[in-house]
Amino acid sequence: MSSKYIYKIIVVGDGGVGKTSLIKKFTEGSFEKDYIKTIGAQFSKYESERNGDKIKLLFWDIAGQEDFHFLLPSFYQNAKAAIIVYSLKENELVNSFAHIKNWHENIENYCGTLPVVVFANKNDLVNESNLDMSELKNLVVDNNFLGYYITSAKTGQGVIKSFNAIINRIYNQFKT
């Protein structure tokens, strides 16, 4: 399939929040339960079609560990959109949520203004009825993000809907 449009989407967030798992679930339909730390960045391709136009998406899964932050400027280059992932898992929630602002600052520093969505991942590990999303809703509004999605890379909840939302946005924004 010859692609008319090629878009780079960066996927950022703290280490261990599920960035790689979300991308694999979306692009391959699979889930690996064992955690393997991303070194630097991993790249995934996904081909899609919108209104008869062939689209190639390049997902840049950027390592969340501070050891790799010196690589961020080159990894962020030419991105058309960003996904910030944080974890709903109890022992990861506070830090990974607090760091959304840092990830957004990096995106703005290296890319300027991009369409950004937030994925609240690992929903399968919490009781959804106990979630208070008001702080996230405020963060989305205050930073002019496109929105947020509650996801689970393990069960697939929200994964297709959330990735398609960002794909539709960049397609509509950047098509010629």
pLDDT bucket at 40, cuts 50 / 70 / 90: low
The full DSSP string for 68-101 is: GGGGHHHHHTT-SEEEEEEE-SHHHHHHHHHTHH
Predicted confidence (pLDDT) per residue in 65-80, tens digit: 676 667 777 888 999 9
Reported as a single tens digit per residue, the pLDDT across 125-172 is 999 888 889 999 999 999 999 999 999 999 999 999 999 999 999 999
Q: Which domains does the chain have, with CATH numbers?
A: 5-174 (3.40.50.300)
Instruction: Please identify which residue in the block is written with the tokens 């990974």.
Output: 96
Please give the average per-residue pLDDT across 19-41, as a whole number: 80
What strand order describes the sheet that includes 41-50? 41-50, 53-62, 5-12, 81-87, 116-121, 147-150
Report the C-alpha gap between 56 and 107 in whole angstroms: 22
- Distance of alpha carbon 160 from the chain centroid: 12
Q: What is the pLDDT of residue 2?
A: 63
